[in-house]
Structure 1
């Protein structure tokens, strides 16, 4: 639930290699397919059309970094890093 709220708040990136790509890709071609990790800052307005994945949240009681992989409205993949409060804080 917390993760969903953070994703909604961010709305105002993990890398996948496609199986049908040629095996003879050079290292420079492979590097260009990997999106750079963007860091979310307050006031950013990322163009998030579809969330592909969100990294797992550890079971600790502190603020932790997570990464979200998403596609923008033009179909480009992005990886965004941002901070959330982890799942380990409970009233026990």
Structure 2
């Protein structure tokens, strides 16, 4: 019984470590600004920030990895979530 509990703790702990690996701080990455001429190489999206609660275009940032495994932060505009109706 103790062996089964220990195995479960180790399994859950290893899953938590994997989830934590995707939360690597991106503070040292340069923020790139998107425009229509930007060539995108997005292999895996890591995170996207929540848009502001405004009824206007607002900036959001997407952190992603390219096909070479390098991380990038891309800033672009979307419509805010504050428009009702």
1:86 aligns with 2:65: no
1:16 aligns with 2:24: yes
Q: Which residue of structure 1 aligns with residue 15 of structure 2?
A: none
Q: Which residue of structure 2 aligns with residue 43 of structure 1?
A: 37
Cα RMSD (Å) of the superposition? 1.7
CA distance in 1, matches of 2:35, 2:29: 18
Residue ranges of structure 1 left out of the alignment (5+ in a row): 1-14, 18-32
- Asked which structure has the greater RCO (Cα within 8 Å, sep 6+), the reply is 1
Q: Which residue of structure 2 aligns with residue 9 of structure 1?
A: none
TM-score, normalized by length of structure 2?
Answer: 0.66
Structure label with greater radius of gyration: 2
How many equivalent pairs are there?
62
Greater helix proportion? 2
List, as ranges, runs of 4+ consecutive aligned residues in structure 1 with deviation greater than 6 Å: none
Q: Secondary structure at the match of 2:40?
A: coil
Q: 1:87 offset after TM fit, Å? A: 1.0
Q: 1:43 offset after TM fit, Å? A: 2.6
1:69 aligns with 2:56: no
